[in-house]
Amino acid sequence: MSDFFEGSVPARLGKNVYEVDEGNSHIEVNQEIAKATGAGKVLVKVCPAHVYSEEPDGTISVEFAACLECGTCRAVAAPGLLKWHYPEGSMGVMFREG
Ligand code: SF4
């Protein structure tokens, strides 16, 4: 078996390197829509990196530094809920496998 298939998913993801653009999130959730509709719950469920979490008041917290840039949240977000763009320049995730 090649090295590509060895190790658990968390172990393989742990080899990624992140250049974090501190204070400059590439993800923004419209908190009014999230609170009024509960539409942010789907972001919490689908993100493989657990970037999103729901707070007791219905707002959605965003740990953008952990983003894998997979695009899943963009595909499922309700209209107007999410603003997402790739991190600037050489910022963001750098995959070491696959
Ligand atoms: S792009 Fe992927 S990893 Fe990044 S926040 Fe969206 S679902 Fe999570």
Backbone region of residue 67 per phi and psi (left: phi > 0; alpha: psi in -120 to 50; beta: other values): beta
68 CA distance to ligand 1 middle (Å): 6
pLDDT at site 62: 98
- Among the atoms of ligand 1, which is closest to the Cα of residue 50? 8
> What is the CATH number that goes with domain 18-94?
3.30.70.20
* Residue 23 to residue 65: CA distance in whole angstroms: 10
Question: Where in the chain are the domains?
Answer: 18-94
pLDDT at site 53: 98
The per-residue pLDDT string of the chain (98 residues; one tens digit each, 9 = 90 and over) reads 455 567 788 888 888 999 999 989 999 999 999 999 999 999 999 999 999 999 999 999 999 999 999 999 999 999 999 999 999 999 999 998 75
pLDDT at site 2: 54
35 CA distance to ligand 1 middle (Å): 20
Q: Which of 73, 93, 95 to mutate to test the pocket of ligand 1 (most atoms within 8 A of CB)?
A: 73
